[in-house]
Amino acid sequence: MLNKYLPLLLSMAILSPLPLAAQDNGRAQGYVFSVTVSTQQQLDVVLNRAEDLRELFNPDEHGKIAIVLHGDELQLFQKDNYLSNQSVVERARVLDQDNIIDIKACQTMMQTLEIEQNELPSFIEQVPFAPAEIERLQQEQGFTRL
């Protein structure tokens, strides 16, 4: 159900003012999204919205968008699946390089899916456990969870 509304939540979050708790010296800390989707099309919806926001979004004003992947979508980024998912991987890479999003992968789910650490692109930061990373971003860096 959340996946259906994720693009709307992304736009609302970025266009709405940040609570004071999520700011540090006037600079927004960011937002964190827990993403578990099953198909390339579902991931495309998330990346499409991030691309749409590129014109409106200034990470220095609104903070970073951390996307924590911890579902079947991790398989889309495996090197062996690159040719069939090249467009989504490259779009994610560009959004990451442009500081629009920061993509993180859950190593616990990677183990469950039998994905080795060297099978994901280097632009994806690997974290030990998605829920702990989401909590860390909230507690230590002032991110807002949506």
pLDDT in tens, 40-58: 999 999 888 777 766 666 7
Residue type, 11: S
> Could you give phi then psi for residue 93, rounded to 5 degrees?
-60, -45
Phi-psi region of 25 (alpha: psi -120 to 50; beta: other; left: phi over 0): left
How close are the terminal C-alpha atoms of the chain, in Å? 14
Q: Give the list of residues 6+ apart from residue 76 with CB closer than 8 angstroms, or none.
A: 40, 43, 85, 88, 89
Tokens of 67: 């996307």
Model confidence pLDDT, tens digit, residues 65-109: 899 999 999 999 999 999 999 999 999 999 999 888 899 999 999
CATH architecture of 2-145: 3-Layer(aba) Sandwich (3.40)
Residue 123: predicted pLDDT: 97
* Domain extents in the chain: 2-145
Sheet bearing 64-69, strands edge to edge: 125-127, 101-106, 64-69, 30-35, 144-145
